[in-house]
């Protein structure tokens, strides 16, 4: 993915700044750090990029989701509508917040649909955790209408869609709180890291406290700080933040390259009868980290996957059988396999997780094959890949015509 494609002297320079001070901790030690505050710079760079009033860096995208839920007031016993197609961390965060996940249908945006959310609402529904998948964005006009009509809290997990937007507003900034991931596989990486974003000062302060054992971060003596709320340790280190800072600066260039490459891939592969693509509600806002290709049905998609593998074509995901991104493989959630009790065991699951009826989701993910786009591909590399992909797809579709 893009973040790991571009790194070098700039990252080393920022890391060396931290090494020279010897202060790896993001708070305090003002005199020793000689004005070096990489986490603060990282946060400011992300806020500038996405247009957020507030950004707070934490240790991972997963902990950023936890902060986003807590800062939005989502907790014990709350029913939260979630997608069945997401990296499992989104659902884990809801469970470990003490809340109860309610799975709803997605559509061909690969995100929760307004219709799916509506059908999943009960008198106990408090929030929707909307996940923007595979670099794209959800149908936000339709979804926001449902959120407002039913007075729900919207929390956005844009872990896979940092730098994506809908009609000029960045993913992560439509709801009460949002977040991004900066792990090894994202458009920008900090090695490990995440960023919480919001336009609410109150939510920002809560996330800042919550992510560091409830510390107020007021004054210059950490041992004497007050604790406005109970929290835990989700802090990012200065070393990780230093990498994330540089990587965030690269995002506009990466996004531009991604979109150029994705456009060519869609143009060429779209010439093949039977090949379509996931819906992009705002093509101008696509971060284009994935080419999301749709085949006519699940059977043909699986045959194309087999053909890709047989012909040595790599770099794609068939999410339908992926162990950590699709509900079909989440047996531990369905069967309640936990290390310690959660509120699902105490209060009961709001749905029969082993017998969910999500036909649109099953059909959509069954047809989907996603290719991770490399922003650094040369024209020759891209042409070679497209030639191999086209041959494999045509071979399958001709044989089954």
In this prediction, residue 400 carries a pLDDT of 73
Mean pLDDT computed over 82-89: 98
- pLDDT at residue 398 in the model: 78
Long-range pairs for 387-392: beta carbons < 8 A, 24 or more residues apart = 388/311, 388/312, 388/313, 389/269, 389/308, 389/313, 390/268, 390/269, 390/272, 391/311, 392/304, 392/307, 392/308, 392/311, 392/313
What is the 3-state composition of the chain as percent helix, strand, coil, each rounded to the nearest 5?
45, 15, 40
The Cα 117–Cα 147 span in angstroms is 9
Tell me the per-residue pLDDT of 347-393, one tens digit each, with 9 for 90 and over.
999 999 999 999 999 999 999 999 999 999 999 999 999 999 999 99
pLDDT tops 80 at residue 101: yes
Per-residue pLDDT averaged across 305-322, rounded?
Answer: 97
**217-233 mean pLDDT:** 96
Q: 245 near 41, Cβ under 8 Å?
A: yes
- Please name which of 131, 53, 40 lies closest in space to residue 325, comparing C-alpha atoms: 131
pTM reported for the whole predicted model: 0.97
Q: What is the pLDDT of residue 316?
A: 97
Q: What is the C-alpha to C-alpha distance for residues 368 and 377, in angstroms, rounded to an integer?
A: 23
pLDDT of residue 232 exceeding 90: yes
pLDDT at 233 over 70: yes
Supply the pLDDT for residue 1.
58
Q: What is the mean pLDDT of residues 193-197?
A: 98
Percent of the chain with pLDDT over 70: 99
pLDDT value of residue 27: 97
Domains belonging to the chain, first-starting first, are 2-250 (3.40.640.10), 252-322+361-399 (3.90.1150.10)
- Report DSSP letters for 283-294, one per residue: GGG----EEEEE
pLDDT, mean of residues 86-98 = 98
Where residue 401 falls among pLDDT bands split at 50, 70, 90?
A: low
pLDDT at residue number 265:
98
Predicted pLDDT of residue 399? 77
As a whole number, the mean pLDDT across the chain is 97
Residue 252 pLDDT greater than 90, yes or no = yes
């Amino acid at each position: 993915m893009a973040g790991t494609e571009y790194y070098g002297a700039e990252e080393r320079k920022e890391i060396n700044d931290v090494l020279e001070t010897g202060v790896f901790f993001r708070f305090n030690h003002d005199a020793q750090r000689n004005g070096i505050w990489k986490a603060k710079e990282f946060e400011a760079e992300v806020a500038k990029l996405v247009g957020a009033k507030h950004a707070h860096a934490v240790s991972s995208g997963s902990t950023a989701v936890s902060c986003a839920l807590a800062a939005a007031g989502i907790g014990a016993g709350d029913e939260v509508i979630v997608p069945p197609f997401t990296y499992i961390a989104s659902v884990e965060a809801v469970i470990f917040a003490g809340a109860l996940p309610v799975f709803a249908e997605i559509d061909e945006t690969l995100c929760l649909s307004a219709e799916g959310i509506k059908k999943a609402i009960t008198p106990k529904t408090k929030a929707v955790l909307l996940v923007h998948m595979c670099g794209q964005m959800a149908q936000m006009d339709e979804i926001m209408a449902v959120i407002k009509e039913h007075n729900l809290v919207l929390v956005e997990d844009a872990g896979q869609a940092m730098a994506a937007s809908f009609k000029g507003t960045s993913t992560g900034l439509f709801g009460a709180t949002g977040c991004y991931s900066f792990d090894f596989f994202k458009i920008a990486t900090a090695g490990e890291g995440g960023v919480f974003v919001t336009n609410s000062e109150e939510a920002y302060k809560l996330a800042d406290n919550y992510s560091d054992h409830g510390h107020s971060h007021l004054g210059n003596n950490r041992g004497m700080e007050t604790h406005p709320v109970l929290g835990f340790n989700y802090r990012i280190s200065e070393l990780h933040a230093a990498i994330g800072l540089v990587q965030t600066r690269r995002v506009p260039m990466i996004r531009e390259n991604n979109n150029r490459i994705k456009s060519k891939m869609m143009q060429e592969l779209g010439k093949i009868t039977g090949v379509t693509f996931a819906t992009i509600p705002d093509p101008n806002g696509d971060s284009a980290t994935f080419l999301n290709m749709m085949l006519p049905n699940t059977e043909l998609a699986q045959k194309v996957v087999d053909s890709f593998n047989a012909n040595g074509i790599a770099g794609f995901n068939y999410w339908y059988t992926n162990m950590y991104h699709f509900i079909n493989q989440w047996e531990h959630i369905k069967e309640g396999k936990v290390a310690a009790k959660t509120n699902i065991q105490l209060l009961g699951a709001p749905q029969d997780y082993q017998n969910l009826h999500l036909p649109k989701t099953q059909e959509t993910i069954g047809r989907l094959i996603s290719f991770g786009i490399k922003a650094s591909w040369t024209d020759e590399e891209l042409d070679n890949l497209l030639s191999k992909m086209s041959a494999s797809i045509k071979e399958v579709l001709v044989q089954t015509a």
